[in-house]
Structure 1
Amino acid sequence: MSKVYFIENHGSDYNQLGRDAVRLLKTIVSETNHKFEKEVPIKVHFGEKGNTTFIPPQCYDETINYLKEKGVAPSYIETNVLYRGSRTTTGKHIETAEDHGFTQIPIIIADGDIGTEFDEIEINKDYIKKCKIGKGYGKYKQFIVMSHFKGHAEAGFGGALKQLAMGFASRGGKLEQHSGISPVVKASKCISCGICVEKCNYDAITIPDTAVIDSDKCVGCAGCIAVCPQNAIRNTWGGSNFPEKLAEYAYGAAKDKDIIYIAFAHNITEDCDCTGSHMDLIAKNIGVLAGKDPVALDAACLDMLQRNESDKLFEKGRKTLAHAEKIGLGSTEYELVTINI
């Protein structure tokens, strides 16, 4: 049975949340005799431009300082998003991160300027055979994945598993989880400029009148979505088995990696931090949780939320947890270890 460590915190002092996080990190390091590599990236979410409830940078200060004291070189690591927003390309993504205060350490955008650089990680599961994981992740063996537990329209909730599945995936990997393998073109918006044709490395796009994507040639890298000046190329968001694909991509992201997971069950909103606007909180703050099993960690967060608020809240996410357990990523059974401060 996996251990999940917990510090209760109902307040809104972000500096204290950071101290709670590093205390949990130190506990795991001590109890598991964890040895750090020389470089350890920290996986975070910088928040979409306009979002006000993402976990702010001061929550990571203590963890950064602790790693530096241990002789570790930390960095932030992320991948570009699939939709058109303030984090679609590397330049804009880093600009958004810095505007939100994430300036303490270097930032790595792991899937290249427009999200098309990836390694294929073979997993051979029910829905995904090979995961498209941002190429920059391949350089590192260890990570600290620090997630914000909150809602998500399709997944039910976002936590450690979503940080792995979407946060490690390249744009094409995100597309594969959300829908079919190929984007679609809205002909009425296409101006036949040819930028998508120039950027496609697979000769999958032609322009007889307006852009047409050949699904047999398309590998789903989604680079065309990023470069289209008219926002005429998009994904359909209509794919099937999204929860299961999410779990399988999380499996691929964590494969052969040594990861410590920390979750902030704070600023709990109905939707995720990719929403570029203010969102109202829908639940009381819970605290900070951590462990080495992402399935157990997410299960503990969800169980606590439902006990405190409603047994129906974010229930949709149980499907992802069940599939993640089925494929061997972790266990929904856990021992909760409460640490008093």
Structure 2
Amino acid sequence: MSKVYFIKNTESDYNKLGNDALELLKEVISETGHSFHKEVPIKVHFGEKGNKTFIPAKCYDNIINFLKEKGVSPSYIETNVLYRGSRTTTELHIETAKDHGFTQIPIIIADGDIGTEYDEIEINKDYINKCKIGRGYGQFKQFIVMSHFKGHVEAGFGGALKQLAMGFAARSGKLEQHSGISPVVNAEKCISCGICVNKCDFSAIETPDTAVIDESKCIGCAGCIAVCPRGAIENTWGGSHFLEKLSEYAYGASRNKDIIYITFVHNITKDCDCSGTHMKPIADNIGILAGKDPVALDTACLDLVQENSRQKLFEKGRTSLRHAEKIGLGTMKYELKKIR
């Protein structure tokens, strides 16, 4: 059984949320004897352009200041997204982050300019043998993973597991979780400009009339998606066992890493912060939870949301939790310790 620490906070005061987040961090440090290295990245989600319900930058100020006071050098860390949007390339991603107020500390985009730089982490689980994790994560042993608990159309919910699985994975790793196959070309959009051909390091694309991807050569890096000026190369979003693959990538991302997890159960929307639209919350604010076991933490968040809403919201995501427990990432059994 793992301990999960909880502070109830139903207000929409982000300064108070920041204070509570720091209090929980101190509680975890005190309870576990955690000590920080000289450099500790903070994994966050900057929010897609147009999204209004992501956790704002001011909620991280107190933790950033606390780390600096302890002689720790913090940074934000993320990877580029798989789909075409305001966070597809490093340049656009950092621009979006700064527009959303994330200017306090340096920003690391761990998988390179277009999401193709990664290290392979061997896990040999049921569906994934090697996880493609953004190369920038490899230089650090410690992280603070800060999540926003909310819905997700495919995962059921987004929390600590998804922050690890998608947030640490390079573009090809994201593609592997979603589908495990090559991107596809929309012939109606393709203008045969050849940019994707020149970008592909594996000679997997030809343009006789429109771009054609040779699946036998394609490694699924999805770099072509990022460079196509017409948005003609797309993800399939199909595949199978997505929920289990997500758990296995979370396992690979956290392997041999020392991580503290903090989750805001606020602004609980139907869809995730990758949606570039304004969404209305579908459940009341609950508070902040923290711990060192991401499975226990996500389970506690899900239980609290369902108890408070009296609905089986996001129940689909419990499949990922069960698989994560099965492969040894953590336990769904937890002790909820209320700090106040």
Query: Same fold, TM exceeding 0.5?
Result: yes
TM class, shorter-length? over 0.9
Partner residue in 1 for 2:278: 278
**What is the letter of the counterpart of residue 186 of structure 1?**
N
Q: What's the secondary structure of 2:121's corresponding residue? A: strand
Do structure 1's residue 164 and structure 2's residue 164 form an aligned pair? yes
Corresponding residue for residue 318 of structure 1: 318
Partner of residue 254, structure 1: 254
Structure-2 separation of matches of 1:152 and 1:338: 27
* Cα displacement string for residues 123-177 of structure 1 (whole angstroms, at most 9, x for unaligned residues): 0001000000000000000000000000000000000000000000001101011
Structure-1 residue corresponding to 2:189: 189
1:9 is matched with which residue? 9
Q: Structure 1, residues 227-268: CA drift from partner, whole Å, max 9, x if none?
A: 000100011111111100000000000000000000000000
Counterpart residue identity of residue 243, structure 1: L
Alpha-carbon shift at residue 180 of structure 1 (Å): 2.6
Name the aligned partner's letter for residue 80 of structure 1. N
Instruction: Write the deviation string for residues 38-93 of structure 1: whole angstroms up to 9, x where unpaired.
Output: 00000000000000000000100000011001100000000000000000000000
Distance 1:51 1:195 in 2: 30
User: Are residue 235 (structure 1) and residue 235 (structure 2) matched?
Assistant: yes
Work out whether 1:289 is the aligned partner of 2:289.
Answer: yes
Confirm or deny that 1:112 pairs with 2:112: yes
Stretch deviating more after TM superposition (103-112 or 202-211): 202-211
Please name the residue that 1:72 is paired with.
72
Separation in structure 2 between the aligned mates of residue 123 and residue 221 of structure 1, nearest angstrom: 19
Partners of 1:224 and 1:256 lie apart in 2 by 32
> What is the distance in 1 between the residues matched to 2:37 and 2:203?
41
Identical counterparts, % of pairs: 78
Q: Deviations over 1:1-44 (max 9, x none)?
A: 10000000000000110110111101111111111010000000
Please name the residue that 1:220 is paired with.
220
1:134 and 2:145 matched: no
Deviant stretches of 4+, over 6 Å: none
Normalised by the size of structure 2, how large is the TM-score?
Answer: 0.99
Tell me how large the CA RMSD over aligned residues is: 0.6
The CA distance in 1 between the partners of 2:217 and 2:54, in whole Å, is 38
1:296-319 residue CA offsets vs partner (Å, 9 max, x unmatched): 000000000000113411000110
Q: State the secondary structure of the residue aligned to 1:5.
A: strand
Amino acid across the alignment from 1:167: G
Q: Which runs of 5+ in 1 are unaligned?
A: none
TM-superposed deviation, 1:209: 1.5
1:79-120 CA distances to partner (integer Å, 9 max, x unpaired)? 000000000000000000000000000000000000000000
C-alpha deviation, 1:181, in angstroms: 2.5
Letter in 2 for 1:229: P
**SS of equivalent to 1:19:** helix
| 1:96 match: secondary structure | helix
- What is the aligned partner in structure 2 of residue 200 from structure 1? 200
Unaligned runs of 5+ in 2: none
* Matched residue, 2:210: 210
For the residues of structure 1 that align with 2:310 and 2:201, how far apart are their CA atoms? 48
> In 1, distance between residues paired with 2:159 and 2:290?
11
Q: Which moved more, 1:112-121 or 1:308-317?
A: 308-317
Q: Which moved more, 1:207-216 or 1:100-109?
A: 207-216
TM-fit CA distance, 1:188: 1.4
TM-score for the superposition, normalised by structure 1: 0.99
**2: CA distance between counterparts of 1:170 and 1:226?**
13
Instruction: For residue 206 of structure 1, report the CA deviation from its aligned partner.
Output: 1.1
Paired residues in the alignment total 340
- Find the aligned partners of 2:182 and 2:127 in 1 and give their Cα distance: 16
Q: Distance in 1 between matches of 2:299 and 2:259?
A: 17
CA drift at 1:210 = 1.0
